Amino acid sequence: MAIKFQYNKTSYQQLEKQLRMRQRTLPIIKSKESALRMEVKRCKEEAKKLAVELEQQIQNYEAMFALWKEFDGSLISVKDVHLGVKKIAGVRIPLLEHVDFEIRPYSFFNAPKWYFDGIQLLKELAQAAIEQEFVLAKLNLLEHARKKTTQKVNLFEKVQIPGYEDALLKIKRFMEDEENLSKSSQKILKSIQEKRRKEDAEV
């Protein structure tokens, strides 16, 4: 019985340690979840704004549709896309720093006058499209991280912490029962021993 008691006492201490660790960690995870939730909201607003800008650029492009037949599409191309990385609530997010365009030389005298405006319009259109792609990729990463963090919060709050508390309560009650049973056994044994001593003394 003493061995069982020691085993349950050890189990109780281990579970109590696990419970304290989760109780300390929960506020940190909640804080991360809140930060990610705010960042997801901000990113969605940014994506909406970029979608409007892109739509405007497309409309500007379509307004010059008849002229594009004359345009040499090889005059402008994306040379390089410069990326950075930013940590948001512990999540590494790729950031678009800037886009380099390559513009081939062309004759200002022989080319139509609207070429310059056309090139600027295509630059703005490409820039808006690339920015939107990056914001959507950023949104997906943040949303994924937010969902995982929310799941962890729910796991701690609704499953693990209550589970540990319930297990600790059961072990505590079991230990108390063991202790009470041990005390009762000792009293009974002492009573038997005293009875025998009296019987021996009478003989």
pLDDT digits (tens, 9 = 90+) for 75-117: 889 999 998 988 888 888 888 888 999 988 888 778 778 888 8
Please give the residue that has the higher pLDDT: either 153 or 4.
153
Angstrom distance (rounded) from CA 150 to CA 31 = 11
List the chain domain ranges.
9-189
Cβ-Cβ contacts under 8 Å for 118 (sequence gap 6 or more): 64, 67, 68, 71
Architecture of domain 9-189: Orthogonal Bundle (1.10)
pLDDT digits (tens, 9 = 90+) for 70-85: 787 788 899 999 989 8
Q: Does the model's pTM come out above 0.85?
A: no
pLDDT digits (tens, 9 = 90+) for 119-131: 888 888 889 899 9
Q: What is the pLDDT of residue 167?
A: 84
